[in-house]
Structure 1
Amino acid sequence: MKPAGRTLADWGLFWLLSVVWASAYMLTRMAVDKGHADAGLPPEWVISGRLTIGAVALCCVMVATRQHLPPLSDRRRWTAILGMAIVGSVIPFFLITIAQETVNSSLAALYTAAVPIFVAIGAHFLFSDERLSAGSVVGVMVGFGGVALLFGPEAMKGLSSASTLAQIMLVGATMAYAASSLIARGAPLMRAIPFATAFVSVAAVVSWPLALMVDRESVNAGWDNWLAVVGLGIGPTALAQALYMVLIARTSATFLSLTGYAIPVVAAVMGFLFFGEMQSWLSLVAFAMILGGVWLARQGGGGRKAV
């Protein structure tokens, strides 16, 4: 087990990662041009663009620092890399990007607060030092109650509506992010930059067929949409993945899952400042329930106290 104490550098990297990740929701909204069906970039191009740009940026960093990818014969490491590429990048990016065509960036970010709930459940079954106790189970149930509340009474009545389907996608993305944290924790030891470079590059290649399926003639995008994709590739993809792997090596999957608390707050501030987004009091109650559930789960689970 890793030590419980966290240094100032750990917390500095934590908040930098939280801000960079939170900016993804704002930039994604700009890329897809939310609310304008006949404008903006298609989700397939946004995903492929950000991953490709991120992969190129990380490859440059890896070459500049004279680091290397693991040999292809190392099946355990490449299995973890493939898992991070599909589960930690392609799936959540795809779901979130589509969802943000109809929901606000701050609401999309709010779902990340539930990541620690799913991490706690997965860790219970995968790691012997992170078993759920009775108190943890209560916390998980409260957290799930908060997620259900996010949908709101109207959404629960009409599960076929576009916004509700978008929120279901956001829950799926949240589960994928939680799974990627567990994959990263269980992966064989690798240096942060080669690991991030490998799985972002694999994710980029996997995303290319999606981009090729789009009819180019139907795309009506401006320079601001493309600039947002460049920002997504350099910031929330390349820089964030590098920071993520550095922090997972320095700390733990559970500590990293705490970004789920910070990201919604930072994204809400960005959404308000740039787009005038406001969330309902019901969303705030739901967020409080999720945080309370996570706190109960952590207090009741011995392995998760050491973050």
Structure 2
Amino acid sequence: MTSTQGKGTFGGRPALDWVLFGLLAVIWAGAYPMTRVAVGKGLDTGLPAEWVLPGRLCIGAVFLWIVLIAARKHLPPLSDCKRWTSIVGMGLVGSVIPFFFITTAQETVNSSLAALYTAASPVFVAIGANLLFAEEKMTARTGLGVALGFVGVAVLFGPEALKGLGSASTLAQVFLLIATLAYALSTLIARGAPPMDAIAFAASYATVSALASLPLAFTVDPATVSASWVNWLAVLGLGLGSSGIAQVLYMTLIARAGATFVSLNGYAIPVISAIFGWLFFQETQSWNAVLALLLILGGVWLARSGGRGRAA
């Protein structure tokens, strides 16, 4: 019997893995309504995406550096090309690209719709894992799950779903799909990265993403921005929560349980975000979007349970 099958386990995993998983899901799901507040959708004031992105990333990087110093950890030496390649990849693909496209999209779409797209990320992870990792090859069941997931995305992207969600634009949904692909790719980058300390990994790629996003702040004329403390408070929450605490949880959980387990957050995030959206903004979803979510999650379940490498 392995340590993950003994006392204090659930579903074959230590209870701590599930606690970290739950905290990560809540923080990531909460990022969508906070982004809505930051950009001011439905409010009289709001911040441009070009300020929200570097703001949250810089706050997250500072937080992670504090954790790094307190834990007496060190970044990998700059001569370690393999590790820094993974770090730069995570910084750009795992933070800058998806955060920018999601933040921009949320100027016009509801937070619950933005989170719904995240559900498709494990489907793309399954495709990438099949191509990149020998122990995670597709089976017929995996292929069926991937196909079902794509049908769900098509239903979500279709004209009826657009009509039912009112404010959702085609361009915004394209942005959300790009962000979903970036999230999937970042999971694969983390999966294939050389072993390194979780805190050092998180702090280093947070620093890369913060520095890469800073030039965006100078593309906006401050005189054209009308923001209040509520918008800035949301940016602070995004920085400390999603870009700070969540990154430590994310890297720790990947080190403990693997990228496949972490990718299952795609099940929880859209549901939790929909609850937040309904509670705080009275957001509701059309039957098209609900059907799309069921198809996507069904496809994810088949894809992840059907692969040979699901236990890796």
Q: Distance in 1 between matches of 2:294 and 2:149?
A: 9
Whether 1:9 and 2:1 are equivalent positions in the alignment is no
Q: Distance in 1 between matches of 2:278 and 2:153?
A: 22
Instruction: Give the superposition deviation at 1:7.
Output: 0.5
Q: Distance in 2 between matches of 1:220 and 1:168?
A: 27
Whether 1:144 and 2:154 are equivalent positions in the alignment is no
SS at match of 2:158: helix
Tell me the TM-score normalised to structure 1 length. 0.94
* Matching of residues 110-259 of structure 1 within 5 Å: 110-154=116-160, 163-259=169-265
User: 2:162, 2:169 within 8 Å by CA — same for their partners in 1?
Assistant: no
SS at match of 1:302: coil
* Matching of residues 268-279 of structure 1 within 5 Å: 268-279=274-285
Letter of the 1:281 counterpart: W
Instruction: Give the superposition deviation at 1:35.
Output: 4.0
Instruction: Give the superposition deviation at 1:3.
Output: 7.2
Cross-structure match for 1:86: 92
Which stretch has the larger CA shift, 7-16 or 132-141?
132-141
SS at match of 1:12: helix
Instruction: Give the superposition deviation at 1:139.
Output: 1.1
Instruction: Give the superposition deviation at 1:154.
Output: 4.3
Cross-structure match for 2:105: 99
Q: Distance in 2 between matches of 1:135 and 1:125?
A: 16
Whether 1:57 and 2:63 are equivalent positions in the alignment is yes
User: 2:110, 2:168 within 8 Å by CA — same for their partners in 1?
Assistant: no
- Matching residue within 110, 114, 122 for 1:108: 114
Assess, with a 3 A threshold, how the Cα gap between structure 1 residues 155 and 294 changes in structure 2: closer, same or farther: closer
Instruction: Give the superposition deviation at 1:252.
Output: 1.0
SS at match of 2:196: coil
- Matching residue within 288, 300, 304 for 1:298: 304
Query: Percent identity, aligned pairs only?
Result: 63
User: 1:35, 1:101 within 8 Å by CA — same for their partners in 2?
Assistant: no
Gap regions ≥5 residues in structure 2 = 6-11
Whether 1:25 and 2:37 are equivalent positions in the alignment is no
Letter of the 1:117 counterpart: V
Gap regions ≥5 residues in structure 1 = none
Instruction: Give the superposition deviation at 1:156.
Output: 7.9
Q: Distance in 2 between matches of 1:299 and 1:17?
A: 22
Letter of the 1:204 counterpart: A
Q: Distance in 1 between matches of 2:307 and 2:202?
A: 30
Q: Distance in 2 between matches of 1:21 and 1:169?
A: 18
Assess, with a 3 A threshold, how the Cα gap between structure 1 residues 175 and 239 changes in structure 2: closer, same or farther: same
User: 2:161, 2:289 within 8 Å by CA — same for their partners in 1?
Assistant: no
User: 1:51, 1:237 within 8 Å by CA — same for their partners in 2?
Assistant: yes
1:35-56 alpha-carbon deviations (Å, 9 max, x no partner): 45x7300001000000000000
Instruction: Give the superposition deviation at 1:135.
Output: 2.0
User: 1:32, 1:40 within 8 Å by CA — same for their partners in 2?
Assistant: yes
1:133-168 alpha-carbon deviations (Å, 9 max, x no partner): 1221111011000011112324789xxx97111011
User: 2:155, 2:161 within 8 Å by CA — same for their partners in 1?
Assistant: no
Instruction: Give the superposition deviation at 1:298.
Output: 2.5
Q: Distance in 1 between matches of 2:49 and 2:297?
A: 30
Tell me the TM-score normalised to structure 2 length. 0.93
Letter of the 1:266 counterpart: I
Cross-structure match for 1:288: 294
SS at match of 1:278: coil
SS at match of 1:150: helix
* RMSD, matched Cα: 1.7
